[in-house]
A and B are shown apart, each in its own frame.
Chain A
Amino acid sequence: MSVIPAPVAGLPWRIMALTSALACFAGVVLYSAAGGSMTPWAGMHLIRFVIFLVMALVISRFDEDFIKSLSFPGYAGVALLLLFVEVVGQVKGGSQRWISLGAFNLQPSELMKIAIVLALARFYAMLPAGETTRFAAVWPALVLIGIPSALVLLQPDLGTTLAIVASGVIVMFIAGLPLRYFLGAAGAGAAAAPILFSMLHDYQQKRILIFLTPEADPLGSGYHIVQSKIAIGSGGLFGKGFLNGTQSHLQYLPEGHTDFVFATMAEEWGLFGGLMLLLGFFLLLRWATGVALRAQTKFGRYTAAGLTMTIFFYVAINLMMVMGLAPVVGIPLPFMSYGGSSMMTIMICIGIILSIDRKARRGHSGMSGLS
């Protein structure tokens, strides 16, 4: 039992502090990326963070059952939005991924990363344990994953498609589906890779090829990776110092405030800054995984574990991309990259996990929030 008054103690202080620290560091990096200015990025980024943090705290007050009840309608709604942007895009000619919300442009595909986790968690929570080895446990999940993946792939947005598939597959995995399915799928995927590759858009194929040999085309599409590696590599142990990054300030680094913000950071803060950031993400993910393990309900477990995977996927793919370990796919770095949609997604994830955590702690009143 805590000695601190319940309403204050009820606030998830550690997570608030951790996410705030990450967002504030992002503010510092974006301030530098703008050449030492709060505009246009740093100020807006911090304002958005505060708004979305409040939103996350509101979500954390939702009852887990309420979230559970929203999972299928939410999934259907986001899928309809995806269909809507696809149709609008077709009508207008060319692809469109977002709906304008005034303050920022909402990408329904971002929300789908959450919706797919919730929908699958709900599905497997409903499914009796004995059914999970049967084919009936597989095909609905594949349909649930397949519909939004197809729609997002049509946009075309390979990175988000992979994020949706990855989050979905992880929920299937932790829900206890037989291992042979995953091994079989992995084998089939490897076999089908050349066919899938040929189905990709030209620019996507090019990005993958250039990922394999970025130096072959340093001024063309490989430019992003090469310049990003130069920024990170030239930073050294402690970086060139705040406001002293030349790769970002002289505009050699493309997208230095969005997808490649890590390179901007690493140039000025060095390996030290990078490790601090990794530590921050590690603490966040360890907490989220802990919530999943603590959760008492199947829905809570699967949701928390799935959303943890969603956050992890952002971080891992983005960092692999900027360090030249993955092709350039447009995936932002949570808390760090400037952009409303991804931050909203991340903060909704945090909010839902906080809600699950609250329920878990109510069940185990002796346990602390952050193990």
Chain B
Amino acid sequence: MKRRTKRTRPILTEGTQSLSFTRRTMLVGGAQIGIGALLAARMAYISIADNEHYRMLSESNRLNMTLIPPRRGWVIDRYGAAIANNRVDLRVDIIPERLKRPEQTLATLQNILALEPEEMERIRGELDRATSFQPVQVADGISEQAFAAISVRLPELPGVSPLRGFTRNYPSGAAVGHLMGYVGIASAEEYKESKDPLLITPGFKIGKDGLEKQFEQQLRGKPGAKRVEVTARGKVVRELTTTPDVPGHPIHLTLNADLQAYAARRLGRESGSVVVIDCLTGDLLTMASMPSFDPNSFSNGIGHDEWNLLSNDDHVPLRNKVLKGLYPPGSTVKPMVAMSFLEAGLSPDESVTCNGGLRVGNRVFHCWQRRGHGRVDMAKGIYQSCDVYFYYFAQKMGMNVIAAMAKRLGLGQEFPLPVSSQFYGTVPDPEWKMKKYKQAWQPYDTVNATIGQGYMLFNPLQLAVMASRLATGKKLMPHLLMDPKRKAAETLGFTDEHISYVRAAMSEVVNGRGTAGRARIPVDNVLLAGKTGTAQVVSLDRGSGKGGLWKYRDHGLFICFAPFDNPRFACSVVIEHGGGSGAAYPIARDVMTFLYDRQKAMDVLLPLEAAWGGTVEQRMASAMARFKSPVATPAPDTPPPPPGDNPR
């Protein structure tokens, strides 16, 4: 073999090659031992130094803490009857994060649960919008069979969570809708705010509105916990420990649940509200606002159709009219105005002649009774609701007297109630007008205010408080909670004489020569005292206010208390566009009757309900059916009230 001479490297021989082999093999062996030592060190580091860390990770892999949603505290009425309680419920949720084949899973669920297309649409919508951790309710109140059918098929339905739990129940349904609000699954924002894992536990709901929201912390309770060992695929291997839940605290309301339900039913197809106050304590016995929504169906997640039906209704079933309906009070303010005159020193015997109108400045203000009332003193001014009497003396006494009395009686005031908001309206006076409109108060402003028109706007709760304070002469504060420590009302300082005078005049409205003879209650030895009110909605050139388009009809109002000489209960009724007070006082009469004689009150209600097309639930169901049916059949319009029955 030829070798290149330039090679300087020593030529490898068999001997040196053998030596090189031994050396290099030892080197490789040494490197292997080095790597082996490195591996041993690495393992020691992981399993000794980091042992605690990895042990914790291993435990958090293995153990899954499932929260048991606490049973929500009951809401009970003054006698302990349930306004909101819980019923056992079998339910199914989807946890979007764990959902694998959505379409297939939904199809299976639809098949087992016989879900309506609308429900499917809602579920799909919520799944699209849901953040991964938020459970989406599929159905609740499902049957044992369906529950079992889903439970056995769980391995092929990842992300589906059947649960035996409790759901909120409102026995009187829509009657307490506005008051109670409803519960629902916590929103993503609410979860992000508190980071409480309970909020994303399937089956757990928080108060979304009304008292459910106001008393969320008391009602919520403490969740129980179930520690389970789970596989990587989420299958539960065994249960380790279970801590029971601590139910939430009950909320004891001053409400009379039966009366509330009766009032809601008695409102019928009208859009209106009823407030009843206990004249001894100021307890609110009823705060009914109709039409309303059924908190049971709201709490279960409401369908698109139901939502559209409710939000497009001109009777605004989503607004609590007791607190958020503001109305011109009309003639219901007259007893209050009269009381202000009395307290300011006007003799009740002073009178004025009503010829059907009074010139104020360059304009004639008419009395509702164009024929005139003749000679009118204070009592007749109240029971005949003579406008001219008030036009005349209001100008004499001045607006400040009236406005001060209005405020003392609760008008325009916000009360310390556990509600999210109250619209408290306006008690107008010269100072207010200057501040708001930069205009001086005019005599015609006083004239307008004195008959409850113009700038005056109050909510039905204020009207009821006014009635109770006029009736008792005490500064009754409305209460919603049965707080044993609630203070006895202070006196307003009216003389007994003045109180008796106004009581008698208001009794005359109902029981004598007054404007609401048909409001007399069919109870022996109990006389109702009241005051009618009709509030114009549009100027008379657009309609008479009595008939025509619903939204142009006058509001009908009525305030009352009973018994007139020793008041126990006070009440206000406001019917939106009722066409006049004739729409309001029969309802007040029946509600007040219910407090004394339930049977008589029910005897009046049942035939009425038959004529209206069933109970509240039945009418809501048929409205829903009409809304869904492709041939839109319009809902029967509210008939105008019988003519000639609507004094101011």
Stretch at the interface among B55-63, B335-343, B469-477: B55-63
Q: In the complex, what residues of A have CB within 8 A of residue B33's CB?
A: 282
Do the beta carbons of A246 and B232 come within 8 Å of each other?
no
Query: A330 at interface (Cβ–Cβ under 8 A)?
Result: no
Give the residue of A174, A178, A250, A274 whose beta carbon is less than 8 angstroms from that of B43: A274
Contact across chains for A229 and B25 when beta carbons are under 8 A apart: no
> Is B21's beta carbon under 8 Å from chain A?
yes
Chain B min CB distance to A117 (Å): 13
Which of B28, B47, B48 has a CB less than 8 Å from the CB of A170? Answer: B28
- List residues of chain B with CB within 8 A of the CB of A298: 17, 21
Chain A residues lying within 8 Å of B9, measured Cβ to Cβ, are 133, 178
Please measure, in the bound complex, the distance between the C-alpha atom of A274 and the C-alpha atom of B61, giving whole angstroms: 23
How far is it, in angstroms, between the C-alpha of A331 and the C-alpha of B407 when the chains are bound? 87
B631 at interface, CB cutoff 8 A: no
Are B21 and A176 within 8 A (Cβ)? yes
Is B280's CB within 8 Å of the partner chain A?
Answer: no
- Residue A278 interfacial (CB < 8 Å): yes
Mask, B300-342, CB within 8 Å of A = 1, is: 0000000000000000000000000000000000000000000
- Contact check, B24 vs A173: say whether CB atoms are below 8 A apart: yes
Q: Are A175 and B21 closer than 8 Å at their CB atoms? A: yes
A251–B235 alpha-carbon span in the complex (Å) = 10
Chain A CB within 8 A of B240 CB: no
Q: Is A22 an interface residue (CB 8 A)?
A: no
Contact of B46 among A129, A173, A229 (CB under 8 A): A229
Give the chain A neighbours of B29 by CB distance below 8 A. 285-286, 289
A325 interface residue (CB < 8 Å to B): yes
Contacts of A293 in B (CB 8 A): 22, 25-26
CB contacts under 8 Å to B, within A243-293, are 246-247, 250-252, 266-267, 270-271, 274-275, 278, 281-282, 285-286, 289, 292-293
A234 nearest CB across to chain B (Å): 4
Interface digits, A202-240 against B, CB 8 Å rule (1 contact, 0 not)? 000000000000000000000000010111111111000
Chain B CB within 8 A of A58 CB? no
Interface membership of A347, Cβ < 8 A: no
Name the residue of chain B whose CB is nearest to the CB of A289. B29
Closest CB in chain A relative to B62 CB, distance in Å: 4
Is B152 in contact with chain A by the CB < 8 A criterion? no
Binds B, one of A149-157, A186-194, A316-324: A316-324
Instruction: Tell which of A227, A230, A237, A247 touches B48, judged by Cβ atoms closer than 8 Å.
Output: A237
Complex Cα distance, B25 from A286, in Å, reads 11
Q: How many residues of A contact B (CB 8 A)?
A: 50
B58 near A246: Cβ-Cβ < 8 Å: yes
Is the C-beta of A20 less than 8 angstroms from some C-beta in chain B?
Answer: no
What are the 4 A-B residue pairs with the smallest beta carbon separation, nearest first? A233-B54, A234-B58, A129-B17, A251-B232
Closest to B11 in A: A130
Q: A236-B47, A250-B237, A278-B40 are in contact. Are A130 and B54 (CB under 8 A)?
A: no
Q: Give 13 pairs: A residue, B residue, CB < 8 Å, sorted on A.
A: A129-B12, A174-B21, A176-B12, A176-B17, A230-B54, A233-B46, A252-B58, A252-B62, A266-B47, A292-B25, A320-B39, A323-B39, A323-B46
Please, which residue of chain A has its CB at the minimum distance from the CB of B233? Answer: A251
Expressed in whole angstroms, the Cα–Cα distance for A281 and B33 within the complex equals: 10
Report the separation of the CA atoms of residues A309 and B50 in the bound assembly, to the nearest whole angstrom. 31
Complex alpha-carbon distance, A46 and B13, angstroms:
47
Q: Is the CB of A236 within 8 A of B55?
A: yes
In the bound complex, residues from chain B placing their C-beta under 8 Å from that of A289 are: 25, 28-29, 32
- Partner among B13, B28, B42, B59 whose Cβ is within 8 Å of the Cβ of A130: B13
Instruction: Using A230-B61, A267-B58, A289-B25 as known contacts, list a sample of 9 further A-B pairs with CB atoms less than 8 Å apart, ordered by residue number in A.
Output: A130-B11, A176-B21, A236-B55, A237-B47, A250-B61, A271-B47, A274-B47, A278-B40, A289-B29
Q: Tell me whether B17 and A233 are in contact (CB under 8 A).
A: no
Q: Does A45 contact B (CB under 8 A)?
A: no
A172 CB, nearest partner CB in chain B, Å: 10
Residue of B nearest to A132 (CB): B12
Q: How far is the CA of A148 from the CA of B380 in the complex (A)?
A: 117
Using known A-B contacts A129-B16, A233-B50, A274-B47, determine if residue A281 contacts B62 with beta carbons closer than 8 Å: no
The answer to whether A232 and B230 touch (CB under 8 A), given A170-B28, A176-B17, is no
Q: Are B54 and A234 in contact (CB under 8 A)?
A: yes
Q: How many residues in B have their beta carbons less than 8 Å from beta carbons of A?
A: 44
Q: Which residues of B contact A173 (CB under 8 A)?
A: 24, 28
Q: Which of B14, B17, B55 contacts A234 (CB 8 A)?
A: B55
Closest to B30 in A: A289
Inside 8 A of A176's CB, which chain B residues have their CB? 12, 17, 20-21, 24
Chain B residues closer than 8 Å to A235, beta-carbon distance: 47
A246 to B47, CA, bound (A): 16
CB distance from A46 to the nearest CB of B (A): 26
Task: Indicate if A301 sits at the interface (CB-CB under 8 A).
Answer: yes
**B58 x A323 contact (CB < 8 A):** no
Tell me whether A312 is interfacial, beta carbon within 8 Å: yes
The reply to whether the CB of B218 lies closer than 8 angstroms to some CB of chain A is no
Residue A112 is within 8 A (CB to CB) of chain B in the complex: no
Q: In the complex, which residues of chain B have a beta carbon less than 8 angstroms from the beta carbon of A178?
A: 9
Q: B374 interface residue, CB < 8 Å from A?
A: no
Interface majority SS on A: helix, strand, loop or mixed?
A: helix
Residues from chain B with Cβ under 8 Å of A85 in the complex: none
A305 at the interface (CB under 8 A from B): yes
Distance, CA A234 to CA B42, complexed state (A): 14
Complex CA gap A246/B240 in Å reads: 15
Q: Does B606 interact with chain A (Cβ within 8 Å)?
A: no
Q: Considering the chains assembled together, what is the distance between the CA atoms of A266 and B12 in angstroms?
A: 48
Contact of A323 with B43 in the complex, beta carbons under 8 Å: yes
Assembled-state Cα–Cα distance A194/B306 (Å): 62
A227 to B25 Cα, complex, angstroms: 37
Residues of A within 8 A of B434 (CB): none
If A233-B53, A250-B231, A271-B48 touch, does A319 touch B32 (CB 8 Å cutoff)? no
Contact (Cβ within 8 A) A236 B51: yes
User: In the assembly, what is the distance between CA of A302 and CA of B17, in Å?
Assistant: 12
B229 lies within 8 A of chain A by Cβ: yes
Give the residues from 122 to 146 in chain A that come closer than 8 angstroms, CB to CB, to chain B.
129-130, 132-133
Residues in chain B near residue A251, CB distance under 8 A: 231-233
B35 contacts the other chain (Cβ, under 8 Å)?
yes
Q: B232, A252: Cβ atoms under 8 Å?
A: yes
Shortest CB-to-CB span from B184 to chain A, Å, is: 30
CB distance from B239 to the nearest CB of A (A): 15
**CB nearest neighbor in A for B49:** A233
**CA–CA, A97 to B40, complex, Å?**
33
> B1 near A: Cβ within 8 Å?
yes
Q: Which residues of B contact A267 (CB under 8 A)?
A: 58
Does B154 reach chain A (CB closer than 8 Å)?
A: no
CB-CB under 8 A from A133, the residues of chain B are 9, 11-12
Contact A301 B21 (CB under 8 A): yes
Cβ contacts under 8 Å, A271 to chain B: 43-44, 47-48
Say how far A253's CB is from chain B's closest CB, in angstroms.
8
- B36 CB-CB contact with A under 8 Å: yes
Among A129, A175, A246, A282, point to the contact of B62 (Cβ < 8 A): A246
The CA of A91 and the CA of B1, in the complex, are separated in Å by 49
Chain B residues with CB below 8 A from A305, complex form: 21, 25, 28
State in angstroms the CA–CA spacing of A296 and B233 once bound together: 57
Known contacts A174-B24, A289-B29; is-contact A236 B48 (Cβ 8 Å)? yes
Decide: A174 and B25 in contact? CB cutoff 8 A. yes
- Say yes or no: B12 contacts A282, CB within 8 Å: no
Most chain A Cβ neighbours within 10 Å, of B9, B39, B232: B39
A309→B13 contact, CB < 8 A: no
CB-contact partner of B47 in A233, A292, A309, under 8 A? A233
Docked-complex contact A129 and B13, CB < 8 angstroms: yes
Quick one: given A234-B51, A250-B237, A301-B21, are A312 and B32 in contact (CB under 8 Å)? yes
Q: Which residue of A lies closest to B4 (CB)?
A: A134
Q: Which residues of A contact B229 (CB under 8 A)?
A: 246, 250
